[in-house]
Structure 1
């Protein structure tokens, strides 16, 4: 809740909080299921950490500083939201999925390093969450290896230069931005997750993308990746994926039925045009605009904007199919 505002009771917010608690509980179960009986908690040496480890540790390190700053300023709602976003979106949705590959590695040391980072980050995140959700954090904390009798007497996480991997964090964010863009365009083009393709990536950050080859293979569905600072080859049949750090060229025509995809896109285009026409007519009716509640009019304006954005994306996809 922001300062000065009352919070209305909402079933949706209660359900969302329940879902978050379930997400945290299940993530902990996954971590615990992958720990051997002789597991020893503690971070691996810095030279044993891979790019994703340094990214999550550096992100957590910065989170501790910003959340502490929010709490010092009594920005409680902002602090709670940042911790929740980190646990759900960064730790659960990304890092756990990334760690699964290493947990199944044939290299015992690599698997153990992933376990150590998983446990460390979860433990520190629970400390940051504890002021907002004391009961579930206490229950989970006491079940984790290497923890004390209660979370309440533990030291509050603070920013340390030792875990400040700013360069690695920035490099991994570039990889994530690219992977997200690839997954978005694959979803828009209705490409089945089992279908993979080669890709050419044009970027000045070639070292970051070279180090992230394994992540691109798994999460961007790449069979092989060619890195170049400037691509001058043929782009026919290629779909371009553009982020602030890279431009990817993917032969999507190998993965989809062009005619079926065109039919689907044209159907979406017709639907978007119908919505735009309907919302535009409502907003051009002065009697409706003047008499309707302001929030209703604003909602229709937002729906019109979303429909226009959708139409633009669909038209771009149709153009990409040639």
Structure 2
């Protein structure tokens, strides 16, 4: 199987991180000082959240950073549950078939957090997809952060900051990673194409960039997919068309059900749903018979509300209601 390009071309230094200069500069200053606060990185998929965590660990610990970095995917831990715990050798020591997942979680974090760092002042526990942490897990972490603050730092990454309880958010420095500019994505994709010996027509390349909507990770994934399959990954315009039609007809019971399906079942974030709505109403393929400029301003307002931590589903329902009234 071909190597996954998202990993192959992951930035190896802070200088290689694209489009997040303000956040990078702040993080770099901490790393140069040899210490970091607890951190919560939030933003859409593919904008550099996990990459920054790895760069922090490498910057503080050097080549053997894995000794002091524990990574836990909260989505795997709580959504896959016992099947995941049973399969992962790291948890063999903790796993018991009849023990609740939350109890295993508490034991795992307590043990990892209590272990002394190796040739360092502190170790890092990194929670990927932190929005999947249950309320009980977040409450437990709230206490653990206080208990192990001298020898452990906690880093969270999430696409849905509204899913993180305020007491946990307040114990970490919250940093938002925004969309990456299309020009930067294009330049990066062309470098990958040159290294991989690829040549695409300009239209295909621009389609990849447009669909990525500021996500470098999604753009790289689509580029590799096209190189292997000769076509682009399918997108879900039909679902967004249906969502817009329902809102314009005033059927907000069904709108709520569709938002639930898109966010809970299909896993799209509020950012991504707004991006897809924006793409559809500005593409010309599915225009709204409304004042486009006013609609886009409304969308920008609701996008900011989600960034600031408001409930995503409620804000999406309110957004579509507003659009139907324009």
Instruction: Provide the TM-score with structure 2 as the length reference.
Output: 0.27
Structure with more of its chain in helix, by fraction: 1
Higher relative contact order (CA 8 A, sep 6+): 2
